């Protein structure tokens, strides 16, 4: 992503302070905390401090006359199904990223200001107390 593209993305995110979307969290056997599914440039991974945010929105490109309906919940479900097959003993759950009962707090301000691909895809979180 070049600097101009990232500037456009940052502007776009700031105009939508409460994106709809979904995340995938997992509890490993014998552990109390949760880990979030993350996306790197090459593969998916698990983190105790970040989680991949699959957003939901309608994206339009007037110049090309294209419109895309992006469904974050569906994208998260696809990844969760694969993860459940790879980790059958883990408790893997798809959550609405703004669910009041979400067991984590996502740092949306840091996410809105993120200027690198990894942070743009994977906002930071902490467990709720």
Q: Where are the domains of the chain?
A: 3-127
- Specify the pLDDT at position 53: 95
The C-alpha torsion from 46 through 50 and 54 to 56, rounded to 10°, is 160
Q: Which two tokens stand for residue 67?
A: 């419109």
- Specify the pLDDT at position 129: 85
Work out the burial of residue 28: count CB atoms within 10 Å of its CB; fewer than 13 is exposed, 13-18 middle, 19 or more buried.
Answer: middle
- From 13-17, 42-46, 53-57, 109-113, the region with the lowest mean pLDDT: 13-17
Work out the burial of residue 108: count CB atoms within 10 Å of its CB; fewer than 13 is exposed, 13-18 middle, 19 or more buried.
Answer: middle
Q: How far apart are CA 89 and CA 110, in angstroms?
A: 33
Task: Let me know: does 12 contact 73? Beta carbons within 8 Å.
Answer: no
Mean pLDDT of 61-86: 87
Considering only residues 88 and 57, tell me which one the structure prediction assigns the higher pLDDT. 88
Q: How far apart are CA 25 and CA 57, in angstroms?
A: 21
């Amino acid at each position: 992503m070049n600097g101009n593209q990232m500037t456009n993305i940052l502007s776009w995110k700031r105009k939508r302070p409460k994106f709809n979307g979904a995340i995938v969290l997992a509890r490993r056997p014998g552990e109390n905390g949760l880990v979030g599914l993350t996306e790197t440039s090459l593969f998916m991974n698990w983190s105790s401090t970040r989680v991949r945010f699959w957003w939901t929105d309608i994206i339009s490109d007037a110049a090309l006359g294209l419109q895309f309906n992006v469904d974050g919940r569906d994208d998260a479900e696809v990844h969760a199904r694969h993860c459940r097959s790879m980790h059958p003993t883990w408790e893997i759950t798809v959550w609405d990223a703004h669910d009041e009962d979400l067991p984590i707090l996502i740092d949306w301000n840091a996410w809105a200001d993120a200027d690198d691909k990894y942070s743009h895809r994977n906002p930071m979180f902490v467990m709720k107390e």
